[in-house]
Amino acid sequence: MQNSTTLLMTFTRNPEIGKVKTRLAKGIGKQAALEVYIKLLEHTENVLQKINTDKCVWYSVSVRQNDIWPDDSYQKKAQFGNDLGERMLHAFEDAFQQNYKKVIIIGSDLYDLQPKHIEEAIKALDTNDVVIGPAQDGGYYLLGMKTLHKKAFAPKNWGTETVLANTLNDLDTQSIHLLETLNDIDHAEDLEPYEAFKKYL
């Protein structure tokens, strides 16, 4: 059931040892990487709960009930597609088919993410076609649109430092609002600024 004209989406991997944060696991071990990932998911959920819009979690493998994403707060769906671009494109298509006016996807591995970033993104879409939250590693942690711009999801080297630049290049004719750049946690050194993760280093 729709209560809002805005949909916030996040992609999540089912938290299983050895299946999440593989680059991080190389530095701190698989068990620690799983614990960090669960903390990041809990942080993301806590931030999203504070935003008064419809919300959807897209699971990497299978939809889970009664997990950290409360069933009464989130639509729950399973991702499909061959790469991240295809999976995001399907998620955006699904949202626009439900007639949402603003659709935003947020990464689930940012300990710096705050409600203010999402609120700014929602507001930015009043006067811009697209909103993007750049990540320090050259990717992005947030992407929002008012209408579907398929070219944003064109094939590229997902997970590399060129993703943001390539996406901006693909969206050359759209008006784009850029949010504050945040630190995406992918490697052991990305944990260093945070007291909560010191024990894993």
Q: How many CB atoms lie within 10 A of CB 9?
A: 25
Global pTM value: 0.95
Q: What is the pLDDT of residues 140-176, one digit of tens each?
A: 999 999 999 999 999 999 888 999 999 999 998 899 9
Distances (CA, A) of 120 to 26, 116, 123: 35, 6, 5
Q: What is the pLDDT of residues 32-52, one digit of tens each?
A: 999 999 999 999 999 999 999
Of the candidates 141, 62, 60, the one whose C-alpha atom is nearest the C-alpha of residue 104 is 141
Q: Give the pLDDT of residue 1.
A: 62
Strand partners, 8: 55, 104
6-196: in CATH 2.40.30.30: no
* Per-residue confidence in pLDDT tens, the chain, 201 aa: 678 999 999 999 888 999 999 999 999 999 999 999 999 999 999 999 999 999 999 999 889 998 999 999 999 999 999 999 999 999 999 999 999 999 999 999 899 999 999 999 999 999 999 999 999 999 999 999 999 999 999 999 988 899 999 999 999 889 999 999 999 899 999 999 999 999 998
